[in-house]
Amino acid sequence: MTQQPTTARVPAPGLRPGRRGGKPGGEGTVYQVVLPPSPRSVGVARWLIGEWCAPWVNAHELAEDTVESALLLASEVVTNAVIHGDGMVHVAVSRLNGSALRVEVSDAGGGMPLVNGQRPDAESGRGMAMVELLSSRWGTDLGVGPLGKTVWFELPIHAA
């Protein structure tokens, strides 16, 4: 039996009701999805992130090149969660104070991502180096409870 993704939109922690965070696509809005640990989930996550960002692009609040970078980096981080993580893959997207787009990918695994941990002749293993190169900030937060870790990155908004 194939598990279907679940999705929800919730306001980011710390936002006051009535602020734009309460409106779909507004500042502080968080879009979330839980996906099965399957290679197909990478494409689903890319598609959803593109859909979630579309209102911001259409409103000229987010540049298309920022979304393209987010899609590339999300593919790398979700792939890592599918291959090296454990359990369901949680993806969240939010805008931070009008200055950054933040993508978070969580799973129940405890392994930490490595930057430049591959051999020069390796066919894979450069995803986190791309995250480090293209994002303005990134990190890993250890989870409490069922989620082992969250790998996140931020990209500058660059409003169009």
Confidence of residue 1 (pLDDT cuts 50, 70, 90): very low
Query: Taking a C-beta distance cutoff of 8 angstroms, is the pair 63, 94 a contact?
Result: no
Q: What is the pLDDT of residues 106-151, one digit of tens each?
A: 999 888 887 766 666 655 557 888 999 999 999 999 876 666 899 9
What is the CATH topology of the domain spanning 28-156? Answer: Heat Shock Protein 90 (3.30.565)
Question: How buried is 49 (Cβ within 10 angstroms: 0-12 exposed, 13-18 middle, 19+ buried)?
Answer: buried
pLDDT of residue 13: 35
Q: Are strands 89-96 and 100-107 parallel, antiparallel or unpaired?
A: antiparallel
Q: What is the pLDDT of residues 20-61, one digit of tens each?
A: 233 445 566 689 999 999 999 999 999 999 999 999 999 999
E strands of 60-148, at which residues? 89-96, 100-107, 137-142
pLDDT of residue 124: 59
Cα separation of 9 and 45, whole Å? 15
Q: Distances in Å between the alpha carbon of 110 and those of 81, 119, 147?
A: 10, 23, 9
Q: Distances in Å between the alpha carbon of 32 and those of 69, 114, 146?
A: 19, 25, 16
pLDDT of residue 125: 59
Query: Taking a C-beta distance cutoff of 8 angstroms, is the pair 105, 75 a contact?
Result: no
84: alpha, beta or left, given left = phi > 0 and alpha = psi -120 to 50? alpha
